[in-house]
Amino acid sequence: MDEPLVCCILPYHIPDYYQQAIECFDSQTYANKQLVAVDTSTMPRVHGLIRNNLIASTPKNCLIAHWDSDDWSCSTRLTEQVTHICGTQASIVGYRDMPFYDVRTHQVTLYKQTNQRYALGTSLMYWRSVWEQHPFIELAGDEDAKFEQDVGFDKVATQSSVDLIAAPRMVARIHPGNTSAKGGARYEKATPELAAAVLACLKPLNVAQSVSATR
């Protein structure tokens, strides 16, 4: 069976993060991939509309992967998620937990979702045909959660992004330019082992300079 094309949609408004997202994309071991990016710095922050426009430009029958510019992905993310969505025959796959790195405090927290069928929006992968039936609601925030709800949580298959503590699959950033507020009961302090693993993943990206890029 041929590998399906994966189109990674990348909206960005911080140049430094854009370059880092490109590096993560280039490092992916999955070969049949395409990046679809747009500079949103002069656009209204209607994220559902931006996602719809990006996906509309992709070929039919492809897989869509969210590739948010301020998040880090391990080199095997696409390979693992393609295997997962094809193996489970789910409509959507993604991670139900994720470490977050705060660029201002340098603290690492772990987000955990009580709904085991809910995947974080930044980690989603799904078939374009699913989006065709359930396009994103044109909102400034929470469009990912409403997308999953519209498709049906019974059609979402999730994984943990920190099963292998030595190599987290994804790391999200907390910074002044986040599209939604971070923090709350679902965030807990990361273990020293996880915090060290996260910092090791981000070290090549020179995260210290990323603080000034968001101001």
Each of the 215 residues of the chain gets a pLDDT tens digit; together they read 589 999 999 999 888 889 999 999 999 999 999 999 999 988 887 889 999 999 999 999 999 999 999 899 999 999 999 999 999 999 999 999 999 999 888 899 999 988 999 999 999 999 999 999 999 998 767 899 999 999 999 999 999 999 766 679 999 998 555 455 455 668 899 999 999 999 999 887 754 444 333 33
Helix axes 143-151, 47-56, angle to 10 degrees: 60
CATH architecture of 6-213: Alpha-Beta Complex (3.90)
CA distances in angstroms from 204 to 34, 72, 118, 178, 186, listed in the order given? 23, 11, 30, 22, 28
Q: How does strand 125-127 pair with strand 92-95?
A: antiparallel
* Residue 162, token pair as written in the block: 């920190």
Ordered by start, the domain boundaries in the chain are 6-213
Q: How does strand 97-102 pair with strand 108-112?
A: antiparallel
Asked if 123 and 95 count as a contact pair (C-beta separation under 8 A), the reply is yes
Please give the model's pTM, rounded to 2 decimal places. Answer: 0.89
In this structure, which amino acid lies at residue 71? D
Pick from 20, 34, 22: nearest CA to 201 = 20
179 Cβ neighbours under 8 A, 6+ residues apart: 45, 47, 140, 141
* Residue 182, token pair as written in the block: 């971070």
The pLDDT of residue 213 is 37
The pLDDT of residue 24 is 95
Distance, in Å, from the CA atom of 191 to the CA atom of 112, rounded to the nearest integer, reads 14
The pLDDT of residue 148 is 97
DSSP-assigned letters across all residues of the chain:
-PPPPEEEEEEE--HHHHHHHHHHHHT-S-SSEEEEEEE-TTS---HHHHHHHHHHTSPTT-EEEE--TT-EE-TTHHHHHHHHHHHH--SEEEESEEEEEETTT--EEEEE-SSTT---GGG-EEEHHHHHHSPPP--SS-HHHHHHHHH-GGGEEEE-TTSSTTS-SEEEEE-TT-SS---STTEEEPPHHHHHHHHHHHGGGTHHHHHHHT-
End-to-end Cα, the chain, rounded Å: 47
The pLDDT of residue 142 is 83
